[in-house]
Structure 1
């Protein structure tokens, strides 16, 4: 018979299984680019960025973003998985494990979101298109490119295993490479990778299958999947739900993290709240600073913030799937996390709230707090260029990497 003390522990703070992995609770630090790898390798700042929420009580933290190929980075300072990256990543995973948490590697290919100018290599998209962020054209991926990138995900997953990670999160969202193929708006191909949803889903399913084949049941495998792109003509719930069913039936993933929005066309659709256009403009040199200041509101749209703002859409996936699901989006207060548990979700992913308070989960467990101090101002977002942080806690802004 359970003791009254154990009986009263909130469900989200109780232990859970994720595939082959045991987690001490159901709270995952979401993948948020850290801006702490100027040489595309691990730094002490990156290690501390993930050690802090691990010490603060999360069940698992997620390292973002680990590209599977050099041209798959959103820009050249991001880590891409290769032998030279393994020793530093091993130091990072050891630091997280020492604090009692698990650690996941978010792997993916940025596709049309990649900055070809920064990477000194053309970005790849389903069909040729112009990227206004990098002021470069992304070229259409050839079948050989697609095969190479699918294979690279499996190889990256092996590097993650060699580095001591407990899980990998496959990036299938935000109009990165796989997500761009899923989008009717971005994918106008006429070959086997375009047209029907089954064709457009071949890349995503191929990537997930390659990762599962590479790691078997040694690591938990999750995928971040768009429920909708938030843009006219993009992926929408009905098609995304079918892709989720296929991934479930393929047996390639242990859980899905449900997300939304397009880093290429509508990024604030994911984050909600005020868009910090002046702060974004200040992060760029001229003439980009002037351009962002003048035109940023057309790209960075204000959306009203509320707790669990993706829950209504995610409920449709919960009703249709048996696969474990991770709820993302506006999870900051303990009551919201418990609402997700009551709605049948298996885990919650938290981002901005843990930037403000890395020890938030421990505070929940101790009964010291049930609400986050995060005010959802989104001014943390432009700090990806100088070291991702909550500016209300760390207001200074020199290069911190």
Structure 2
């Protein structure tokens, strides 16, 4: 019997109405680090539009783990707002995931008021500061912070916890040999570079049990020299599968620090980015690292599929295919290829009701043009500028 992307599905202990996922895309709707009505409305739109699971992006486990100060740090002080968010989404029949992470070297230490940490010491073009190498005490503290955040997120009513292990965030920075030059038990062969990610996954699962699903976002390729290759990505995924702490993997790619356009593909809105970025970031982009930040990759439908099929061939656990999915035939082929979910970002940002219209047969594909002008709007409230050219984001 063939599987349809619109069939109900179990993800760990959670039952979802279909196999579509709104991927985490930073919302820019928590200027005071608290849930706002605007953030709730952002996730209500795809929930009302038929998505199976919507993902709240970049919920930080610690203050220095924020990409910048306007981000939610999970804790008792943010619990009430997060619960209001999950209640609203559940009322529309969708599931809701929390992307749980520590930005590591992607964090803007100047914005956060505390220096970022990474696997190894390195300069930051985001803050024009040095990022310090994480100590043993840091890694123990961060692991406990993941556990504490997981506890709060379960209390808040989330269905799924997505551990961010990609895009050069902290766990990913340990995986990448070019960013991890350590000589201790956290560096060297892949098994040692993967130690922190596996430790966090185990600790979170031990905390939450089967109360929620636990997934991870991993890389099919980091897209930069010294990053995680597809071969190492598959090997890392096999370690995670053997550990048995995760219910699914979402297959992503690129690096928010070294090569973000490897993830997004399509047009490169350099001028719009320069105009929207804070002054210190604009200055950082004039450094050699910064000038190579926005590369150009032609868009093609399902651009990670070829690499993702390597993961499908080598793993038995559920997998989510991500990367330029806009068409119904792409979703149907993903199911035929053995993927369990399809994850969409820009397509649903442009058309929050896309899933409903695809299921009803009134559309066969989305209308996103992949101009990527949504990317610079993260500083004023992430939106499709074709669909919502202006928006005021309230602070409460």
Q: TM-score, normalised by structure 2?
A: 0.96
Report whether the alignment pairs 1:322 with 2:316.
yes
Partner of 2:369: 375
Report whether the alignment pairs 1:221 with 2:235.
no
Partner of 1:196: 189
Q: 2:94 aligns with which of 101, 111, 114?
A: 101
CA contact (8 A) 2:220 2:304 kept: no
**Cα deviation, residue 274, structure 1:** 1.2
Partner of 2:35: 42
Task: List gaps (5 residues or longer) in structure 1.
Answer: 1-6
CA contact (8 A) 2:220 2:307 kept: yes
Partner of 1:19: 12
Instruction: Deviation per CA, 1:3-34: give whole Å up to 9, x if none.
Output: xxxx99x7001111111111100000000000
Instruction: Deviation per CA, 1:279-300: give whole Å up to 9, x if none.
Output: 1011035475476589866210
In 1, Cα distance between the equivalents of 2:239 and 2:145? Answer: 22
CA RMSD of aligned residues (A): 1.6
- After TM superposition, the structure 1 = structure 2 runs for residues 1-400 of structure 1, keeping only pairs within 5 Å, are 11-286=4-279, 288-289=281-282, 292=285, 298-396=292-390
Shift in CA distance, 144/94, structure 1 to aligned 2, threshold 3 Å: same
Task: List gaps (5 residues or longer) in structure 2.
Answer: none
**Residue range with higher mean Cα deviation, 10-19 or 37-46:** 10-19
Shift in CA distance, 167/31, structure 1 to aligned 2, threshold 3 Å: same
**Cα deviation, residue 397, structure 1:** 5.7
In 2, Cα distance between the equivalents of 1:287 and 1:336? Answer: 41
CA contact (8 A) 1:171 1:224 kept: yes
Shift in CA distance, 219/309, structure 1 to aligned 2, threshold 3 Å: same
In 2, Cα distance between the equivalents of 1:335 and 1:384? Answer: 30
Q: TM-score, normalised by structure 1?
A: 0.95
CA contact (8 A) 1:327 1:347 kept: yes
**Cα deviation, residue 400, structure 1:** 5.6
Secondary structure of residue in 2 paired with 1:104: strand
In 2, Cα distance between the equivalents of 1:80 and 1:291? Answer: 25
In 1, Cα distance between the equivalents of 2:298 and 2:263? Answer: 11
Shift in CA distance, 221/286, structure 1 to aligned 2, threshold 3 Å: closer
Secondary structure of residue in 1 paired with 2:164: strand
**Cα deviation, residue 251, structure 1:** 0.8
CA contact (8 A) 1:96 1:102 kept: yes
Shift in CA distance, 262/45, structure 1 to aligned 2, threshold 3 Å: same
Secondary structure of residue in 1 paired with 2:220: strand
Partner of 1:4: none
**Residue range with higher mean Cα deviation, 114-123 or 148-157:** 148-157
Runs of 4+ that moved beyond 4 A: 285-297, 397-401
Secondary structure of residue in 2 paired with 1:106: strand
CA contact (8 A) 1:277 1:293 kept: no
Shift in CA distance, 279/343, structure 1 to aligned 2, threshold 3 Å: same
In 2, Cα distance between the equivalents of 1:289 and 1:194? Answer: 32
